[in-house]
Structure 1
Amino acid sequence: MKNIILAAALISASALSAHAQTTPAADTNGNTPAVATQNSKNVTAPVEGANSFTQDQAKSRIEKAGFSDVKNLMKDDKGIWMAAGMKDGKPVNVALDYQGNVVAK
């Protein structure tokens, strides 16, 4: 009996863990997760908020999103890192918010 209860508890914990990893980008109330992942992007990005990315981290995230020649990287008063860069051979302005969303502007 103890083994059955233990097995049921483990299955429940696994199901909850899997559910937590598939949080949507935004729910119907506009609530968003603290950090963007590969599977979730906030459609209202860039999102204003306290940004803890360092300048080097911000540049690295922007480059990993496919932007090159990133320059003039500065954090604005709304907590959004702004820079100029290149994407697909064209000059663009790019933003990185505290959630990790990288958006061409």
Structure 2
Amino acid sequence: MKSLLTTPIGRLRLICYLEGISLLLLVFVAAPLKYGMDNPAFTKILGPVHGMLFLLFMFNTLSVGVEYNWKFRETTWKVILACFIPFGTFYIDKKILSKL
């Protein structure tokens, strides 16, 4: 657990989890509440939080990619693409980030 906070890959993995959870909450909880029950309160709270985590994830991914000399065509684009797909960040963490 300590390595999640002390290494760049560890911080990326932590942000990866947080961004993935916020995306799932936004897509599967907040959006149905907003459009199905006409209750936009949760999206007003979670939307900006997810946006901040998304940007943090993108900047951190690019930073780690440069620091670890990732080739964009082999690794970086896969990690970036994962944040657009629900459950994608968890898959990338298991398949790529946990092995670095």
TM-score by length of 1: 0.24
Between the two structures, name the one with larger relative contact order (CA 8 Å, sep ≥ 6). 2
- Structure with higher strand content: 1
